[in-house]
């Protein structure tokens, strides 16, 4: 796909996503019923949980495309990886900030070593390393390979981190925790949550396309600069 | 401006929800051990919801703006190299 | 030359180099002893019983001291193109990785035993009822740590930031090792029955196998040119 096509698609999806986000906000203020036990603060879930899903999706795409990049050496795979990883950083930051805002009311503390919270924090730092490695290499090809290795090892380590943080918690029970999940979510709450999932996913792919287009322009410009220099 | 509007909407909705609560309160309060618990924590949860929703907008728009700036920097470079040739 | 012989040759070369210079071994050993001294003053021993926190301190000393040594895996060979020579040898890249990792493992394992001994001595700790199991826990933990450490030492020494980058890359990945390692060590030092730590040991083993396999598979992408 051409850069202008990518950009057009990105702008369309992003605009759709932003409109969807406004609708979600409106619905969550005016339409959805309030959860009895947690009250108003439960509304944070309509952005927190979809942000968590998007973070996972983004880092998953980044790890997968990184592995495929090392295998096939197609430049487009690396562009997709870096675009998705950046999206994961943004949505991960959303998840890591909105989570404690909810936790302060529901748990009485901003931070607990709750397994999923810990896992996201570590994932975020693994991908911080991904970007630091990329920017700290003089040879861009080398940076791409190094970053891909970081993403793959990070992905392989995730099951171990997940198991270990759960293990740790079972040894040191956290203070009273109101479990957020419950499969029997009332109808309108479930509808809004699913709608929000869709909106965040659309928003992510819109932004992803924009970032991909940007990376494409940058790579082309770098190649041209190298030609001029040569 | 968008954000201002949203905060206003959010605030108004907060007021609406509070009144809605007190109307429903009669039935639901019976489930709670302490009748006044919700009244005591009153406004704090609203602020947390507003801040959380604002964070989403700031993060997403921040990313868009950062991409825009990087793109315009690239376009300047493109213009420079075109002049060069 | 068979694969094992190639690995062995690299291990032997690295260890020989180390015994000639003794740079990393002395650095890591001194680091371990000095950290224990600092911990002694950092922790109020009238408020906290040393045996309650010893496991955590031991593992943190191993991690920090280990990074100190492992981070310099490729430094000596970066000079005069020595490492290019090794890469150009017919030995496959994963054999190079396994050799380097094993050499690092032997060094760090010696250091980790020293760390435990120093803590016993300085804090008056008992070794617990099953020192052999403790040695196994240390062995598996150190193996996992060294595998990731060696892989990312190769990555970070290829960047401008060098060793500064290493902890940022490795620490998030080390959480499982620290949790299972300290969990098992703490209970072994308290002479709890071995059955209580079997789960930790299994996870440490799986972690070490994953790290070693990932390193052996991915090392070629780090050093290729």
**What is the structure's pLDDT at A223?**
84
Instruction: State which residues form the domain around C136.
Output: 3-223
Q: What residue spans define the domains of chain A?
A: 3-33+41-229
Shortest alpha-carbon distance between residue A65 and chain C (Å) = 15
Contact: B53, A25; criterion CB under 8 Å:
yes
> Which chain C residue has the Cα nearest residue A162?
C176
The list of chain A residues with pLDDT below 50 reads 173-179, 182-183
Structure tokens at C9: 């040759």
User: Is residue C34 within 8 Å of residue C71, measured between CB atoms?
Assistant: no
> Which chain A residue has the Cα nearest residue C214?
A153
> Which chain B residue has the Cα nearest residue A105?
B45
Cα angle C143, C157, C151; round to 5: 25
A104 closest CB neighbour out of B48, B59, B81: B48
| Tally of domains within chain C | 1
Express each pLDDT in B75-85 by its tens digit: 888 777 666 65
Chain B interface includes A189 (CB < 8 A) = no
ipTM for this prediction: 0.91
Contact: A207, B17; criterion CB under 8 Å:
no
**What is the structure's pLDDT at C172?**
94
| Tally of domains within chain B | 1
Give the SS3 label for residue A39. strand
Query: Among all chains, which residue has been given the structure tokens 């409106």?
Result: A26
CB atoms within 10 A of CB C159: 22
Shortest alpha-carbon distance between residue A137 and chain C (Å) = 5
Shortest alpha-carbon distance between residue B33 and chain A (Å) = 11
Contact: A156, C158; criterion CB under 8 Å:
no
**What is the structure's pLDDT at B54?**
92
Residues from chain C contacting residue A150 (CB–CB below 8 Å)? 152, 155, 169
CB atoms within 10 A of CB C193: 11
Whether C and B touch (3+ CB pairs < 8 Å), yes or no: no
Name C195's Cβ contacts closer than 8 Å, sequence gap at least 6.
Answer: none
User: Is residue C65 within 8 Å of residue C115, measured between CB atoms?
Assistant: yes
> Is the model more confident about B48 or about B34?
B48
pLDDT at B15 exceeding the cut of 60: no
Contact: A160, C169; criterion CB under 8 Å:
no
User: Is residue C180 within 8 Å of residue A163, measured between CB atoms?
Assistant: no
Structure tokens at C222: 């780090």
Name A7's Cβ contacts closer than 8 Å, sequence gap at least 6.
Answer: A209, A210, A213
CB atoms within 10 A of CB A193: 17
> Residues of A55-76 as b/e, b for ≥16 C-beta within 10 angstroms?
bbbbbebbbbbbbbbbeeeeeb
Contact: A156, C148; criterion CB under 8 Å:
no
d(CA C108, CA C66): 6
List subunits contacting chain A, requiring 3 or more Cβ pairs under 8 Å: B, C
Chain C interface includes A3 (CB < 8 A) = no
What is the mean predicted confidence (pLDDT) over B51-63?
A: 92
Query: Per-residue pLDDT for chain C (225 aa), expressed as one digit of tens each?
Result: 688 898 888 899 889 988 888 888 999 999 999 998 998 888 887 888 877 888 999 999 999 999 988 988 888 787 777 888 888 888 888 999 999 999 999 999 999 999 999 998 988 888 888 889 999 999 999 999 999 999 999 999 888 888 889 999 999 999 999 999 999 999 998 888 888 889 999 999 999 999 999 999 999 999 887
Instruction: State which residues form the domain around B69.
Output: 2-84
Look at phi and psi of residue C128 and say left if phi exceeds 0, alpha if psi is from -120 to 50, else beta.
left
d(CA C28, CA C26): 6
C175 closest CB neighbour out of A142, A146, A161: A161
DSSP per position, B10-28: HHHHHHHHHHHHHHHHHHH
> What are the φ/ψ torsions at residue A96 (nearest 5 degrees)?
-75, -20
**What is the structure's pLDDT at C113?**
94
Residues from chain C contacting residue A154 (CB–CB below 8 Å)? 172-173
The CA-atom distances, in angstroms, between A189 and each of A36, A130, A183, A192 are 12, 37, 12, 5
Residues from chain B contacting residue A211 (CB–CB below 8 Å)? 67
- Nearest alpha carbon to residue C72 among C212, C211, C166: C166
Shortest alpha-carbon distance between residue A166 and chain B (Å) = 26
List subunits contacting chain C, requiring 3 or more Cβ pairs under 8 Å: A
Q: Give the C-side interface with A, CB within 8 Å.
A: 148, 151-152, 155-156, 158-161, 165, 168-169, 171-173, 175-176, 179-180, 183, 199, 203, 206-207, 210, 214, 218, 221-222, 224
Contact: A207, B57; criterion CB under 8 Å:
no
**What is the structure's pLDDT at B19?**
45
Structure tokens at A192: 């809004």
SS (H, E, C) A40-73: HHHHHHHHHHHHHHHHHHHHHHHHHHHHHHHHHC
Look at phi and psi of residue C162 and say left if phi exceeds 0, alpha if psi is from -120 to 50, else beta.
left
d(CA A46, CA B52): 10
Q: Can you give the C-alpha Rg of chain B in angstroms?
A: 23
d(CA A221, CA A66): 23
Structure tokens at B56: 């989403």
Structure tokens at A34: 């309030």
- Terminal CA-to-CA distance of chain B, rounded, Å? 43
d(CA A33, CA B14): 13
């Amino acid at each position: 796909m051409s850069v202008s096509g990518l950009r057009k698609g990105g702008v369309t999806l992003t605009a759709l996503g932003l409109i969807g986000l406004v609708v979600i906000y409106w619905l969550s203020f005016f339409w959805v019923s309030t959860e009895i036990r947690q009250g108003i603060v439960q509304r944070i879930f309509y952005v927190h949980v979809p942000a968590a899903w998007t973070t996972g999706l983004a880092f998953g795409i980044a790890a997968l495309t990184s592995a495929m990049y090392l295998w096939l050496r197609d430049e487009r795979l690396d562009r997709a990886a870096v675009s998705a990883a950046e999206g994961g950083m943004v949505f991960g930051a959303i998840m890591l900030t909105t989570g404690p805002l909810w936790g302060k009311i529901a748990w009485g503390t901003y931070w607990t070593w709750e397994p999923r919270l810990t896992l996201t924090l570590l994932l975020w730092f693994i991908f911080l390393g991904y970007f630091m490695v990329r920017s700290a290499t003089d040879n861009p090809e080398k940076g791409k390979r190094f970053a891909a290795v970081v993403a793959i090892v990070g992905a392989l380590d995730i099951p171990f981190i997940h198991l270990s943080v759960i293990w740790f918690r079972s040894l040191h029970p956290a203070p009273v925790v109101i479990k957020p999940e419950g499969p029997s979510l009332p109808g309108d709450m479930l509808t809004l949550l699913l709608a929000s999932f869709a909106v965040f996913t659309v928003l992510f792919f819109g932004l992803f396309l924009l970032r991909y287009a940007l990376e494409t322009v940058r790579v082309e410009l770098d190649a041209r600069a190298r030609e001029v220099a040569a | 401006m968008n954000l201002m509007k949203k905060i206003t909407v959010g605030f108004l909705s907060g007021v609406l929800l509070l009144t809605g609560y007190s109307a429903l309160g009669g039935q639901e309060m019976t489930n709670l051990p302490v009748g006044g618990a919700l009244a005591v924590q009153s406004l704090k949860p609203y602020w947390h919801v507003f801040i959380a929703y604002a964070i989403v907008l700031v993060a997403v728009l921040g990313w868009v703006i950062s991409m825009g700036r990087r793109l315009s920097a690239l376009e300047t470079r493109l213009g420079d190299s075109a002049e060069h040739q | 030359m068979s694969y094992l012989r190639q690995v062995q040759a690299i291990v032997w070369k690295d260890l020989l180099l180390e015994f000639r210079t003794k740079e990393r071994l002395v650095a890591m050993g001194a680091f371990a002893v000095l950290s224990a001294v600092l911990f002694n003053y950092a922790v109020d021993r009238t408020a906290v019983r040393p045996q309650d926190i010893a496991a955590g301190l031991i593992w943190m000393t191993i991690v920090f001291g280990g990074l100190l040594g492992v981070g310099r895996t490729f430094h000596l060979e970066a000079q005069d193109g020595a490492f290019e020579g090794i890469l150009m040898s017919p030995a496959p890249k994963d054999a190079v990785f396994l050799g380097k990792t094993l050499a690092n493992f032997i060094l760090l394992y010696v250091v980790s035993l020293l760390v435990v001994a120093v803590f016993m001595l300085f804090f008056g700790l008992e070794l617990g009822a099953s020192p052999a199991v403790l040695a196994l826990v240390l062995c598996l933990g150190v193996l996992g740590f060294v595998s990731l450490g060696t892989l990312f030492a190769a990555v970070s020494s290829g960047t401008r930031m060098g060793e500064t980058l290493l902890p940022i890359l490795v620490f998030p990945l080390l959480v499982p090792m620290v949790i299972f390692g300290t969990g098992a060590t703490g209970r072994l030092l308290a002479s709890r029955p071995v059955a209580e730590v079997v789960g930790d040991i299994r996870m440490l083993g799986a972690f070490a196998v994953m790290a070693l396999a990932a390193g052996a598979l991915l090392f070629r992408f780090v050093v290729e040119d």
